Amino acid sequence: MGIEKASMPPNKPVAFEYAVKACDLHDLRGCVNASIMCRKGDGIPVDEKKAEEFKARAIEIQKMYKEENQGIGFQQGI
């Protein structure tokens, strides 16, 4: 069932807010998504400067994972 079938139209500005929050929490995918949305103007005005900032943050997070020899994983519960 797609989002349109559920009578929930896409809300790109809110999606951008969540991508930024995820990026602030050091989520690589959040930074990448925020960068792409800024570059394309997907639901927000085009902003190349912000796109580059989010891209740089994504690269830093990626380096951190590589240096610590970690992948993106799931937290283990008890």
**Residue 78 clears pLDDT 60, i.e. is over it:** no
Q: For residue 56, is it within any domain? A: yes
Global pTM value: 0.77
Residues 1-59 pLDDT 10s: 456 677 778 899 999 999 999 999 999 999 999 999 999 999 999 999 999 999 999 99
Q: Give the pLDDT score at 12.
A: 95
Counted domains in the chain: 1
Band of pLDDT at residue 60, cut at 50, 70 and 90: very high
33-39-41 Cα angle (round to 5): 95
Q: Which domain holds residue 56?
A: 12-63
- Indicate whether 5 belongs to any domain: no
The verdict on residue 4 lying in a domain is: no
* Interatomic CA distance for residues 75 and 49, integer angstroms: 34
| Overall average pLDDT of the 54-73 stretch | 83
Q: Does a structural domain hold residue 74?
A: no
Question: Is 25 contained in some domain?
Answer: yes
